[in-house]
Structure 1
């Protein structure tokens, strides 16, 4: 409502897109061309389709088409009006309803928040829990937090895993590494082949516990080569 900063509009579009939402309605923004301004597009960071779908209207009433449950954002408690709660319990309750109502979130202007008249139109209010000594949230930050909470109430998105799990080194390659390390340790004088004790079996157990990946094994082979090269240089005549 009455947003005055183009950057906030762009950042809001970005916040919505990453949570899978695209229905943005601006009520009496300060600049009529805010959706096309350079700052808006820069802060949208690629979420241009949200801006392209966005509507600009003159009143909150015009923005409510298709909205069945309207939630306002209010940091300051009101003496009169709809109940206020934290976002998570409210959204979880709405998501569990059958049928689930279509949700609309109303954000006030950056400077003045929501007017009492607009608050009274809402079915409920949410207040984002913040540190009691400092609760100042940028408009786009508030949109991001509430969009995240609503998406989580709807089931969320799966965490993107690696497309290909790392490849573990096979036992033959591990034994090749240990043979290489044994010779390198002899070359630098760390291992006495006449009295090896249990050094190599212990190293064998160590690498087995580590579960070396193939790339890691190659790194250790490279270290062994560097050790042998350094030992050879030390033994070479000046």
Structure 2
């Protein structure tokens, strides 16, 4: 789906920069400004500062005089209006409308945002196929323009399939069975030394601990921590003669 964000008569330069940043975070870059207050809005310092890394979106952005020019090639137009208009298009939440839209035939979609001061004119809303209303607290439903664009961009990206969550670090690998068995043997000795385990009547303590650590899938580093705890228990009980075996090759170190 081709996607365009259209801002009509934007009065605050910072909102243009915020719009560019909101779009880029969701993978969109087609921004059109219709008769903004500042002719040089794309080069103003406040715009650039608020874009914060989305300068490429600003560089691609276009300024036009009329909405007709901004709608060139668009086949599905979405207004963003909190107040329904008589004789206007149906009002829906973004998620309600955008999911089916993304699943349908390919379209050139545009999202239309009105002036910060006046909102959207009725005649502009009438041209749209739908009026998207972001569900907000009825007692205070006013959204900053940049925030509204971010919400719409997120909902549209989500409808299109979204982006996967990136792992910041590689998932840890579990210690092997030999390392777990060695740790349990160490724990068994220490539990006897502190008087928690009666070797003459062990019952099911060690099998239960075995199952606990099987479920936990400790990493090699965690195995070393557990061995350190076992050693500290034995030392506290005065039985510190038990020496922790050297780490198994490939299991890492403390």
Considering the TM-score relative to the shorter chain, is it more than 0.5? yes
Assess, with a 3 A threshold, how the Cα gap between structure 1 residues 123 and 200 changes in structure 2: closer, same or farther: closer
Give the aligned partner of residue 157 of structure 1. 163
Assess, with a 3 A threshold, how the Cα gap between structure 1 residues 157 and 181 changes in structure 2: closer, same or farther: same
Give the aligned partner of residue 213 of structure 1. 219
Assess, with a 3 A threshold, how the Cα gap between structure 1 residues 194 and 92 changes in structure 2: closer, same or farther: closer
| 1:86, distance to aligned residue in structure 2 (A) | 2.0
2:140 counterpart of 1:134: yes
**Post-superposition CA distance 1:131-168 (Å, at most 9, x none):** 32222222122112211222233233334357744211
Task: Tell me the TM-score normalised to structure 1 length.
Answer: 0.84
Task: Give the whole-Å Cα distance in 2 for the aligned partners of 1:199 and 1:206.
Answer: 11
8, 16, 19: which one pairs with 1:12? 19
Give the aligned partner of residue 110 of structure 1. 116
Give the aligned partner of residue 61 of structure 1. 68
| 1:119, distance to aligned residue in structure 2 (A) | 1.7
Task: Give the whole-Å Cα distance in 2 for the aligned partners of 1:187 and 1:4.
Answer: 76
Assess, with a 3 A threshold, how the Cα gap between structure 1 residues 111 and 214 changes in structure 2: closer, same or farther: farther
Task: Give the whole-Å Cα distance in 1 for the aligned partners of 2:228 and 2:71.
Answer: 65
Q: Which has the higher helix share?
A: 1
Task: Give the whole-Å Cα distance in 2 for the aligned partners of 1:63 and 1:21.
Answer: 16
Task: Give the whole-Å Cα distance in 2 for the aligned partners of 1:233 and 1:200.
Answer: 20
User: Secondary structure in 2 aligned to 1:140?
Assistant: helix
| 1:56, distance to aligned residue in structure 2 (A) | 1.9
Does structure 1 conserve the Cα–Cα contact (< 8 Å) formed by 2:95 and 2:159? yes
User: Secondary structure in 2 aligned to 1:25?
Assistant: strand
Give the aligned partner of residue 35 of structure 1. 42
Task: Give the whole-Å Cα distance in 1 for the aligned partners of 2:151 and 2:211.
Answer: 47
User: Secondary structure in 2 aligned to 1:205?
Assistant: helix
Task: Give the whole-Å Cα distance in 2 for the aligned partners of 1:23 and 1:149.
Answer: 17
Give the aligned partner of residue 103 of structure 2. 96
Give the aligned partner of residue 86 of structure 1. 93
Structure 1 spans left out of the alignment, 5+ residues: none
Give the root-mean-square deviation of aligned CA atoms. 2.6
Structure 2 spans left out of the alignment, 5+ residues: 1-7, 241-254
